[in-house]
Amino acid sequence: MRNKTLVLHPNDNVGVALIDLSKGELIKDSENTIKIQDHITAKHKYALKNFLPGDDILMYGTIVGEATQAIPAGGAITLANIRHKTRKYRSTSQEYSWTPPDVKQWKEKTFQGYLRADGQVGTANYWLVLPLVFCENTNIKLLQEAFENALGFSKINPYEHQIRNLISGLASPFTQKSTESVTVESLEAKNRIFENLDGIRFLTHNGGCGGTRNDAETLCALLAGYIHHPNVAGATVLSLGCQNAEAKILQQKLEVLEKGVNKPVIIFDQQQEGTTDDYITKVIAQTWEGLKLANQEKRSTQPISKLVIGLECGGSDGFSGISANPTLGRVSDLVVSSGGSAILSEFPELCGAEQNLIDRCKTTEISDKFIRLMEEYSAAAERVGSGFDMNPSPGNIKDGLLTDAIKSCGAAKKGGTAPISGVLDYTEYLSSPGLNLLCTPGNDVESTTGLAGSGANIILFTTGLGTPTGNPICPVIKVSTNHKLSSRMPDIIDFNSGSVISGEQTIEECGDDLLELVLEVASGKVQVKADEKRNFDFIPWKRGVSL
């Protein structure tokens, strides 16, 4: 029989409704019976005791808020009666004891990836075309249309046929649907010229000039991370010539990452080339030679230790910290125990979980860096009249994530229980195997952009409300927290962890199934929904206050 409620930790003083609870309903836990005082919507919380104003609200075994008024046992926890509060944290030298999961069944598991000269392994093989400054975006789009149409990488817009019919007066705008998309994949496969190239990916952005010099340097570091990424065989870079984000800065950032193992990177300066026609013609000719080199790369058998899993959430709900995020935590622990790496991002969504993460850092240097980055970020938000407590969106709040601490303690579950081997500032590239923390905003696209820039070759992205977010160079596997979302939006969901909420699977069983899917995606056998829909989202973070 399915449970109606859940208490996440023995120390918690609130419970979570797994289904809608009616006023007057009796809920029995291991110790006592509670009468529900209000209608409690699924995903929301109810009091396990009588609260007085100022009392701490505990979830996940830690402080996630405080009562602002009296709340009776069985009463609904709402924004009207609690507010954000977190546990104070401090640096510690205490050694973290960890019992890793049994990975015997995963020792022989492999995936088919692209082994690069520097030892990194790609889960895809792309040629990258990017601008150093927004002035080149038009040229990027021109190149994208030309290359994708000619090489068979473009997709027919499934709505174009519908619109053409409407223009001809042949269809009702509410009933006509296109069937052209059915044949798109077969057309692409038939027209492919470079059989080992998974695509040419084109980036655009609004940076590179007009901002601070620090913005330009950060952008160059991010773009260098994308070029260095194992899913990228080489790159074409377009520069106007007079912008802050100079080509020499990009080259310096690349040199630091490549350590003498250089990929083919072609840099063009429009102001030195004459007419646009001359410029684009030259870019195409030299890029063509790069594509031929990229096509020489082939997949080979690789161990799980070559996986670098990015851990992300967006459109979170009250089930995120119960089903999908712990499922990612299971995958993270399995990969780390197998010698691989995982990267947990979104620092505003670690607010309230700091002490748990500090206690898991392998050295005081690592924990001190985490504390410094968190405090600098928090102070920057407060200087402009904001703060981490303002992170939850209206959608988060509506679906049970009332405070940033509730959201954060659930979000941190994506990082499993492994020791933390490194802390990365934004644009820093992964250098220590194991679980790493990456300083990014909670903004979904800015964060996934940062995860790829730091070396994640697969991103796992949990969502309870639904989001189409993807990435140009890194597959993004979208994980639903609940059955309803998976049924309602099957075109964007790759994996459903709602079986944990319904009691059909344990976290361990669900995580094992997800890791199997990760290996299929990493081998190029399964295309993620975000790639099918071309959700190639790329937004660099300018280090301003983005929550």
How far apart CA 376 and CA 255 sit, in angstroms, is 29
Residue 247's Cβ-count burial label (10 Å; 0-12, 13-18, 19+) is middle
How far apart CA 90 and CA 535 sit, in angstroms, is 40
* 308-313 sheet: strands from edge to edge: 420-424, 434-438, 341-344, 308-313, 458-463, 476-480, 495-496
Residue 113's Cβ-count burial label (10 Å; 0-12, 13-18, 19+) is buried
Per-residue pLDDT of the chain (547 residues; tens, 9 = 90+): 578 998 989 999 999 999 999 999 998 875 778 999 999 999 899 999 999 999 999 999 899 999 999 999 999 999 899 998 888 888 877 789 999 999 999 999 999 999 999 999 999 999 999 999 999 999 999 999 998 888 878 776 666 666 567 667 655 444 444 444 333 343 344 446 889 999 999 999 999 998 888 999 999 999 999 999 999 999 999 999 999 999 999 999 999 999 889 999 999 999 999 899 999 999 999 999 999 999 999 999 999 999 999 999 999 989 999 999 999 999 999 999 999 999 999 999 898 899 999 999 999 999 999 999 999 988 888 887 777 766 777 878 877 788 888 888 899 999 999 999 999 999 999 999 999 999 999 999 999 999 999 999 999 999 999 999 999 999 999 999 999 999 999 999 999 999 999 999 999 999 999 999 999 999 999 999 999 999 999 999 987 666 5
From the list 87, 86, 57, the residue with the least C-alpha distance to 69 is 57
Structure-block tokens of residue 111: 């995936």
How far apart CA 477 and CA 492 sit, in angstroms, is 9
Residues sharing a CB contact under 8 Å with residue 253, sequence separation 6 or more, in sequence order: 220, 221, 223, 224
For residue 381, the model assigns a pLDDT of 82
How far apart CA 442 and CA 317 sit, in angstroms, is 14
Q: What share of the chain is helix, strand, coil (3-state, %, to 5)?
A: 35, 20, 45
Sequential DSSP letters for 19-79: S-B-TT-EEE-SS-EEE--S-B-TT-EEESS-B-TTPEEEETTEEEEEESS-B-TTPBP-T
How far apart CA 186 and CA 399 sit, in angstroms, is 41
Structure-block tokens of residue 367: 């924990």
How far apart CA 129 and CA 227 sit, in angstroms, is 9
122 in Cβ contact with 232 (< 8 Å): yes
5 in Cβ contact with 30 (< 8 Å): no
Helix (H) or strand (E) holding 356: helix 354-360
70 in Cβ contact with 64 (< 8 Å): no
For residue 1, the model assigns a pLDDT of 52
Residues sharing a CB contact under 8 Å with residue 123, sequence separation 6 or more, in sequence order: 111, 113, 114, 230, 231, 457, 458, 474, 475, 521, 522, 523, 524
From the list 123, 121, 221, 114, the residue with the least C-alpha distance to 474 is 123
For residue 187, the model assigns a pLDDT of 36
For residue 179, the model assigns a pLDDT of 40
The DSSP output letter for 524 is T
How far apart CA 492 and CA 508 sit, in angstroms, is 24
How far apart CA 510 and CA 504 sit, in angstroms, is 9
Say what the pTM is. 0.91
From the list 435, 209, 198, 462, the residue with the least C-alpha distance to 349 is 462
CA atoms 265, 269, 272, 274: torsion sign: positive
Residue 40's alpha-carbon distances to 49, 63, 401, 463, in angstroms, are 16, 21, 14, 22
